Amino acid sequence: MKKNNFLVLLCIVFYSLLFSCADEKQAQSRANANHGLELYERMCANCHQSDGSGFVKLYPPLKNADYLKQNPKAIFGIIKNGMKGRVIVNGIEFNLVMPANPKLSDKEIEHIVEYVQTRFLSSSE
Ligand code: HEC
């Protein structure tokens, strides 16, 4: 009987630890997402727009961009080093210069990447 009580207690402790961990992780990823949103609005939305739709034939879309889907690893380097030259995104040709962002830390870039991927690439809208 005593042993059973101990097991029950152990389970309760285990579960509460598990859930508090999950909570913390969730809070952390929410904080990262907010940070990503804030950076996106400040550093990217001027050109790519808040909704990721891009701007006519000047700035390519990020939302459901086939280019990003086909080159999922490219975005980090694009944000860091900028991009130039001819590129076709969702059937439209773009050929302008995106400036590099030498002041952003790797962590900040990661948060922007996470934001772009969850907001613009995972929805089927
Ligand atoms: C001054 C305008 C400008 C800003 C600010 C800007 N971009 Fe771009 N971006 C461009 C242009 C122009 C291209 C296409 C470059 C080319 O023609 O080769 C591009 C291309 C891209 C591409 C690859 C093409 C695509 O649509 O998938 C990604 C991804 C991207 N930008 C993400 C970002 C992110 C994230 C930020 C914010 C950190 C950002 N850009 C800020 C203008 C901009």
pLDDT of 125 over the 70 cut: no
Q: How many residues does the chain have?
A: 125
- Looking at the CA of residue 109, tell me the nearest atom of ligand 1: 38
pLDDT per residue as tens digits for the range 43-75: 999 999 999 999 999 999 999 999 999 999 999
Could you list the residue range(s) of the whole structural domain that residue 29 is in? 2-121
Ligand 1 site-directed mutation target among 78, 105, 107, 109, most atoms within 8 Å of CB: 78
Ligand 1 surroundings by CB, under 6 angstroms: 43-44, 46-48, 59-62, 65, 67-68, 75, 78-79, 83-85, 87, 89, 94-96, 98-99, 101, 112, 116
What CA–CA distances, in Å, run from 59 to 10, 21, 31, 46, 76? 57, 41, 28, 10, 18
At 57, list the tokens: 């034939």
**Predicted pLDDT of residue 123:** 62
| Residue 15: exposure state from Cβ atoms within 10 A (0-12, 13-18, ≥19) | exposed
Q: Record the pTM.
A: 0.85
| pLDDT (average), residues 2-20 | 76
What digits encode the pLDDT tens for the residues 85-123?
A: 999 999 999 999 999 999 999 999 999 999 999 999 986
Q: Please list the residues that pair with 92 across neighbouring strands.
A: 89
CA distance 44 to 62: 10
Compute the distance from residue 87 Cα to the ligand 1 centre, in Å. Answer: 11
Using pLDDT thresholds of 50, 70 and 90, give the confidence band for residue 124: low
- Of 111, 78, 110, 72, the closest CA to residue 97 belongs to 78
CATH number at residue 6: 1.10.760.10
Total tally of structural domains belonging to the chain = 1
Q: Is 96 exposed, middle or buried (0-12, 13-18, 19+ CB in 10 A)?
A: middle
Ligand 1 probe mutation, 59, 67, 116, most atoms within 8 A of CB: 59
